[in-house]
Structure 1
Amino acid sequence: MDAMEPVVTALRAESQRLYDKVSILPEAEWDRPSPCRPWTVRELMAHMTAGVGRVAAMLAEPEGAADRLVSAAGYYAPDARFSVRANALRTESAQEGAASHPDGWALAEHFDSVWRAVVAGCDGLPPGRLVRTRHGDPMALGDFLVTRVVEVCVHGFDLAEGLGDEPWPTDEAADVVARLLLDGRPYAVGASVPGMDWDRTTFLRKATGRLPMSAAERAAVQRHGVVRLTLG
């Protein structure tokens, strides 16, 4: 199996699941508040769409070269990428993106075309193909695609919460995100974080700050090497 295939498969599956959920939303639902304040569901969806679409822009640029690459986990380091200014620009960009579509259905259709173009554009490319993020970080394409799976999956939790729905992660995406959080290990109930009998979705939500953790749970997560990601 191609080393990038599971990640592309996860991005495809999670994006399709997301589209299936939002494409049938009544228009009024798009203006519900999301837990990613100050965004509405509509603005959060615009942010997710732009995040996936960055892959196409990267692949349109010359590959170039780099001596040292940023890993998928390293992409979420607590540095300038998540500064007050960067977050303000991120918020403003999503609001502008949402306003550029006449209604929620048009935004959902735009997302559908974006993710399909990205998946098609990655077909046949090696996972080591060099790309450069909008922050200037050189990354292997396979690693950057992992971050896109994280974005669609984790912000999918946020969308579900904003809509009053149950979380909807696909198995493919949940596995990719769990392996990132566990430094390459798959998630196994009671084994990945001993003493914590969480199902995989609960683990993902707790480890990414979407559900609160007790002091004992935080200590267990830290003790067993769960990777901490700086997320919006």
Structure 2
Amino acid sequence: MAEYSRDSPVVVIGLGRFGTSLAVELVRRGTEVLAIDNRPKVVQNLSGTLTHVVTADSTDIEALRQLGVPDFYQAVVAIGGDLEASILTASLLVELEIENIWAKAVSRQHARILEQIGVGHVVQPEHDMGERVAHLVTGRMLDYIEVDDNFALVKTLPPKELVGVPLGECKLRTKHGVTVVGVKSQGQEFTYATASTVLMYGDVIIVSGTIEKVERFAELT
């Protein structure tokens, strides 16, 4: 098993839209990537974009060993359409003792199985994006990020009760159960919010709290 460092290379298995975007972005950030897909045409099309891209069957543990996958600390299973291949590939990575495994799930059932076999990080890109857009469409939020099962960050505008008053005097946690963690004034960059921060109309704020409370707070704007 490889040792971790911030520059540790990453194996990306499955080069659909999600896997390809991930691999390309990792390379752009300077991370070494071994990209694997079982479709020769896909691999050929990406050979000019990704330095290390190979055709292989990720459900074959010997093929993974020959590619040196056990030497990697991090791996991403980006297979979405073939659930059997996704689950089997993930189980082989667990068997190979890859320390940090990420896997894409296309349903809650798929996600549950991946978690049960030992995948540490399961993501549902379509579900997560749909949930985020739903919040933006139906609420008064400028952006919404769920960071845990019941905790979120929301970008929104300050309600009238916060304008012109230092945040320390607003008793936000007592009244609304949320915290303003960042503020962006017109023409300025985001900065940390403090007890002495005074918000003005036109400012943009980042608020943290439980999902229910940040949703309710955003409706005050």
With structure 2 as the length reference, what TM-score do the two structures score?
0.28
More helix by share: 1
With structure 1 as the length reference, what TM-score do the two structures score?
0.27
RCO higher in 1 or 2 (8 Å CA, sep ≥ 6)? 1
More strand by share: 2
Q: Which has the larger radius of gyration?
A: 2
